[in-house]
Amino acid sequence: MRIACPFCGPRGSEEYTYLGDATVRRPEGDAPSEAWFAYVYLRDNPAGRHRELWYHGAGCRSWLVVERDMRSHDILSVAPARDMALARGRAA
């Protein structure tokens, strides 16, 4: 599996570290414990398109949001996590 880093180009997956689901959102500090439970533990775990966080530790050390098909490992898109977070911040 090769992931096309937006900064470094296509690199083997062994250069990256996987964190997990990129769609979960950290609740506000005073959110009820149910919200924290869902954030920490519950995952959609779809058998299809999955947006997930990868860290390019052996390259540019950027956090990336990778969209990947869990049934085929096809990489559908890669974007810097920072850009996506900033865009989301502006939209909110």
Question: Which residues contact another protein by CB under 8 A?
Answer: 1, 12-14, 18-21, 33-34, 37-38, 40-47, 50, 52, 68, 70-73
Q: How far apart are CA 48 and CA 73, in angstroms?
A: 9
Q: Compare residues 42 and 86 and give the one whose CB is closer to another protein.
A: 42
User: Smallest distance, Å, CB 64 to another protein?
Assistant: 13
Tell me the closest approach of the beta carbon of residue 70 to another protein, in angstroms: 5
Work out how close the CB of 89 gets to another protein at its nearest, in angstroms, rounded to a whole number: 25
Q: Which is nearer to another protein, 72 or 92 (CB)?
A: 72
Torsion of CA 31, 66, 61, 80, to 10 degrees: -80
- Contact yes or no for 53/63 (Cβ under 8 A): yes
Contact between residue 65 and residue 88 where contact means Cβ atoms under 8 Å apart: no
